[in-house]
Amino acid sequence: MSQRQNMSGYTSEDIENAILSGIVKTLQIMKDVREEGDDLNSIDFDEVIEMRIRDMTDRSIYDAIQCVENSNEQ
């Protein structure tokens, strides 16, 4: 990705790093669930997603990612 600045003040690299951080965190959570002996198929991922969104202290990166995803779909 280029270092182009988007409207929210984050570079595409910032957003990419945020996405990769989220992926790593997700994998860590899945690993922990499996190590606890729980079944990953029983996880309500919609609930987990909502919980993580509520945990954000700054939603601007998440909102910027959603904006980029929506513009890519068009």
Question: Tens digit of pLDDT per residue, the chain (74 long)?
Answer: 445 555 567 788 888 888 888 888 888 888 888 888 888 787 788 887 888 787 777 777 777 777 877 888 77
40's tokens: 């990953």
The answer to whether residue 3 is domain-embedded is: no
Structure confidence at residue 1 (pLDDT): 43
25's tokens: 């965190």
**What residue numbers bound the domain in which 23 lies?**
12-73
The answer to whether residue 1 is domain-embedded is: no
Binning the chain into helix, strand and coil, the percentages to the nearest 5 are 70, 5, 25
pTM of the model: 0.52
The answer to whether residue 6 is domain-embedded is: no
The answer to whether residue 40 is domain-embedded is: yes
The answer to whether residue 31 is domain-embedded is: yes
Quote the number of domains for the chain.
1
Closest CA to 67 of 12, 3, 1: 12
